[in-house]
Amino acid sequence: MTLLMIDLDNTLIDRDAAFRTGVTEFLAAHELPAEDVDWVMSVDGSGHVTRTVVAQAIIERYPVGLDEAEIIAFLRRGAREHARVTAETVAALQEVRAAGHQVVIVTNGVDWQQQGKITAAGLDRLVDATVVSEGVGSRKPEPGIFHAAAEAVGASLDGAWMIGDRDDADILGAHRLGLRSVWLHLGRAWSQTDYAPTRTADSVAEAIKHAANSLP
């Protein structure tokens, strides 16, 4: 058996699409300009900007008595409840697990939020385990979270793969541990010079197939 560790946001699920739907609902609920969804998306930075910063930016833009906690809860709920996984991804996960390999979701974030996305997307039935940074006290690219993923399924990191969209988290973490990796380029060019992924892919399904075809 070989271990495949796979990122969640903008890898297994299109987190930005889910968040965009939540933002659209938020703007409509508060009778704010629908076209401002693009502005909120830019402030959000694909989820890498803290929720407090995003909420404060919204409050400053719309001085209509919005509450920070309400904004954060609404936006988190949208990103969580609208999380979806494609049929192609489902098929790829089922195939690699049917071949006897183990799949663990390895994601940075708040435990209950990330687990909620996984459940909403149905990924809890498609993987062997999930490791969230908050729950294990280690964030990608730190080695601890990768070791926790292996321990979650009683596997070894020897020969393991890491699949993800973040060069500075997924691929750097794999590089530091000498693991093989697949980077979802999402239309971007690779810009790092000190390290590089083993392979690149257009989609997570393709990434899983790259890894599966290279498994011993």
CATH number for the domain spanning 188: value is 3.40.50.1000
Q: Are 37 and 27 in contact (CB under 8 A)?
A: yes
Identify the DSSP state of 23: H
User: Are residues 206 and 106 part of one domain?
Assistant: yes
- Provide the 3-class DSSP secondary structure of residue 182: strand
Domain range holding 101?
3-14+84-214
10 & 29 share domain: no
The widest CA-to-CA distance across the chain, in whole angstroms, is 59
Query: Last residue of some domain: 46, 81, 116?
Result: 81
pLDDT tens per residue, range 25-68? 999 999 999 999 999 999 999 888 999 999 999 999 998 889 99
Residues 139 and 206 in one domain: yes
- E-strand stretches of the chain: 3-6, 102-107, 129-132, 161-164, 180-184, 199-201
pLDDT in tens, 163-213: 999 999 999 999 999 999 999 999 999 999 999 999 999 999 999 999 988
Tally of domains within the chain: 2
